[in-house]
Amino acid sequence: MVVPWRVIGALGLALAGAALAWQVQDWRYEGHLAEQSRLHTETLNQLSLAAATAHQAEQDKRLALEQRLAASDKTHSEKMTNAQKDQAILRDRLATSDLRLSVLIDAGSAGGCSVPATASSGGVDHATVRARLDPAHAQRIVAITSEGDRGLIALQACQAYVRALAPSRYE
């Protein structure tokens, strides 16, 4: 059987057309894949930039919180130191008899008590009856109030810490 040249030519042309179509589709597909890859890369870059911005914002918030907490801690430490100095001065004055603590006595309940009234040159109370406390008792009272003062200062520091961590809840 003899194949005519026309059939071979047509078959050749069909094969060449198919190969050319295949090549064109390959180029189009490569272009489409390149575009998808570029878009994907842009999307990843935008996500990375957003994540880095969010991370930096969180770091800035944390740094600001640490600075506020450090300032608050410094303030409360200074208050505690000042309170301790004041209490030490008060204890020293009580110990050296430079200062005496006294209590006000109700004139009606003093009755026949012979507690001498202390004279006060600048006092507001007129003719009030006062009793001096024993220095040892005065020292104990100062120690108790000192503990209370330190406790209040520590409580204020704790409250400031909690407010700094969650400001919207506790204001």
Q: How confident is the prediction along the chain (171 residues), in pLDDT tens digits per residue?
A: 656 777 778 888 888 888 989 888 888 899 899 999 999 999 999 999 999 999 999 999 999 989 988 999 999 999 999 999 998 888 888 877 777 777 778 766 655 555 455 554 555 555 577 788 888 888 888 889 889 988 999 999 898 888 888 866 555
pLDDT of residue 106: 73
In a domain, 19, yes or no: yes
Whether the CB-CB separation of 102 and 126 falls below 8 Å is answered with no
Residue 121 lies in a domain: no
Number of folded domains in the chain?
1
Q: Is residue 107 part of a domain?
A: yes
Q: Dihedral of the CA atoms 39, 44, 50, 53 (nearest 10)? A: -130
pLDDT of residue 110: 52
Q: Does residue 171 fall inside a structural domain?
A: no
13: in domain:
yes
User: Is 104 inside any structural domain?
Assistant: yes
Q: Which helix (H) or strand (E) holds 114?
A: none
pLDDT value at residue 124? 54
Q: Are 150 and 122 in contact (CB under 8 A)?
A: no
Burial class (CB in 10 A: 0-12, 13-18, 19+), 138: buried
Q: Is 145 inside a domain boundary?
A: yes
The predicted pLDDT at position 38 comes to 94
User: Does any domain span residue 122?
Assistant: no
User: At a CB cut-off of 8 Å and minimum separation 6, what does 80 contact?
Assistant: 150, 153, 154
| Range of the structural domain that residue 51 is part of | 5-112+128-165
Amino acid at 35: E
| 102 DSSP 8-state letter | E
Q: What is the pLDDT of residue 104?
A: 79
